Amino acid sequence: MGKQAVILSGGFGTRLSHVVSDVPKPMAPIKDRPFLEYIVLQLKKQGFDNYVFLTGYKSEVIENYFKDLPNSKFIKEETALGTGGAILNAYEFLNNEFYVINGDTFFDIDFSLLQDFGQDKPCTLALRYSDNIARYGFAEINDNFEISSFTEKGKLPNNRIDGYINGGIYYIKKSVLRRFFDKFSGQFISLETEIFPELLNNKELFGLPIGGCFIDIGIPDDYYKAQDLIPNWLKKEAKPALFVDKDGTLIVNTEYPHGKDFQIIDSTINIVKKYSEKNYYIIMVTNQAGIAKDKFNFADMQEGFDGIKSFYKTQGIEFDDIEYCPYHKDGVIKEYSYDSLLRKPNPGMILQACEKLKIDLKNSIMVGDNPQIDNIKLPYLNSLIITEKVKDLI
């Protein structure tokens, strides 16, 4: 059986009204196509073959455009029902498991990662790393990826600079909605503020951090940005990445190495070369607590990066990206004295790279030397710690 997408498509587009005024927000034009068509193209490519459009404002625009899409249904709400109510309004048409997708948000994830993780769980949210949680609020997860809390925008603690935000994609088992259908069918109910909190309290709600191109067209600036970003992104083919640690893996780990004073670890060269020849992206990911602790500055750090890049260039190897974390909770530089999801073993740097490059995370690999730091907290990313025994196997 293929996958079913339940697409929330009833948005008015109030904030876009002076830009796009005659169509529902999901049908706002991006180049020569409606935004919603890019979502459908993305879904088709990943094996979706069943579509339920939850419509409202100017429903006929969506119905007329997608009327020839095989296995598609259009469920219109006659009065505003909220995101949860719209889904419950389509209850009889839902498969036993399905994906809910916001029709005004583009988040290019690998849906198989969400399915593999969530197949034995009632409800799993795709989470995105963001350093702009003031705009969205954020979700906390524990080591089992169970969501432990939501913090709304406007109520952010002073000690947070980043977090996981709701990516607008949910993998849900129909059975978990039965009690809500029995109680709230035909009524206004919000998925995000009423259903999810109850699932959280019952330990039925999980969150999986995933990386990929993300844009919300509900704000004019982002809508204009999407005009080129989305069509160009979808032309790209995803490929896997070798994420490689710096200190102790690429270079000898002296105390806070920086600048030109570094020593290449020769045994790592062949590992990097192997994956470069296999057409992997080569991405350095490195904790740089020396910034927060005032051991060196950004110019010193960049000089070290440039030196490593120059050496590897002599080996015929180019780095596609370098991600670094300058934060540390024990720092002495105030603006960098925070915990951060960028800091390994948290996956922020990995997920941030996925917004720049179209990365096949399922087949990617993280290589490092420290089991406490380089075993990245992602259930689908293969993290390998270099030892003498495994060097030839990597």
- Residues serving a catalytic function are 245, 247
Coil, strand or helix: which one is 302?
A: helix
What residues contact residue 248 under an 8 Å CB cut-off, 6+ apart?
Answer: 265, 368, 369, 370
Query: What whole-number distance in Å separates Cα of residue 213 and Cα of residue 235?
Result: 13
Query: What whole-number distance in Å separates Cα of residue 326 and Cα of residue 312?
Result: 23
Residues 54 and 8 sit within 8 Å (Cβ to Cβ) = yes
Query: What whole-number distance in Å separates Cα of residue 217 and Cα of residue 135?
Result: 14
Pairing relationship of beta strands 29-30 and 33-34 according to DSSP bridges: antiparallel
Cβ-in-10-Å burial (0-12, 13-18, 19+) of 32 comes to exposed
Q: Crossing angle of helices 35-45/59-66, nearest 10°?
A: 40
CA dihedral for 369, 370, 371, 377, sign (positive or negative)? negative
Query: What whole-number distance in Å separates Cα of residue 313 and Cα of residue 319?
Result: 9
Write out the two tokens for 72: 């598609």
Cβ-in-10-Å burial (0-12, 13-18, 19+) of 296 comes to middle
Distance from the first to the final alpha carbon of the chain: 36
Coil, strand or helix: which one is 83?
A: helix
What residues contact residue 5 under an 8 Å CB cut-off, 6+ apart?
Answer: 43, 48, 50, 51, 52, 98, 99, 101
